[in-house]
Amino acid sequence: MSPDVADALNWRSLRWQDGCTYEGLEADGACESHGVVTWPGRHERYEGQLHGSRPHGYGAYRWRDGTLYRGEWHDGQMQGCGVLIWKDEHDSIQAKVRSQFSRAQVEWRSA
């Protein structure tokens, strides 16, 4: 990382009125580089790379029901290589490894 970029990034702990929190790097008012976003009311969490306050790069998202996606993101959407892990109706752990998730939607909170 160049010195100019490092100087522009600041560590922040943010909390919005809806209870959503962010801890990580911030630049020019946007969540950048790496951080953790939690939605306490939804019991969901994202940890990974961000760009423009959206998942972008590699990261992991865990839903309320325990489903976990770990893999590549592009502009807030699961896109690229990744693995999706969940429990089925019989509480058996299932996994889907994809070489290409294509624009799978996740409701994302903008900063």
Within a domain: 17: yes
Tally of domains within the chain: 1
Report pLDDT digits (tens) over 67-92.
999 999 999 988 888 888 888 777 77
pLDDT recorded at residue 2: 53
Residues written for the chain: 111
Two tokens at 55? 């998942």
Say which residue, 69 or 29, is predicted with more confidence.
Answer: 69
Contact 29, 47 (CB under 8 A): no
Residues 6+ apart with CB under 8 A from 5: none
Amino acid at the residue 1: M
In percent, the amount of the chain with pLDDT more than 90 equals: 39
Q: How far is CA 32 from the centre of its chain?
A: 11
Q: Is residue 111 domain-resident?
A: no
Q: Check residue 110 and give its pLDDT.
A: 45
Residue 110 located in a structural domain: no
Q: Is residue 56 part of a domain?
A: yes
Query: What is the rounded CA–CA span in Å between residue 58 and residue 3?
Result: 23
Distance CA 75, CA 39 (A): 19
In a domain, 7, yes or no: yes
Cα–Cα distance, 28 to 19 (Å, whole number): 22
**Looking at the domain assignment, is residue 109 inside a domain?**
no
- Within-domain flag for 20: yes
CATH number at residue 35: 2.20.110
**Residue 35 pLDDT greater than 70, yes or no:** yes
Which domain, by its residues, includes 72? 3-103
Give the CA diameter of the chain.
53
Has residue 67 been placed in a domain? yes
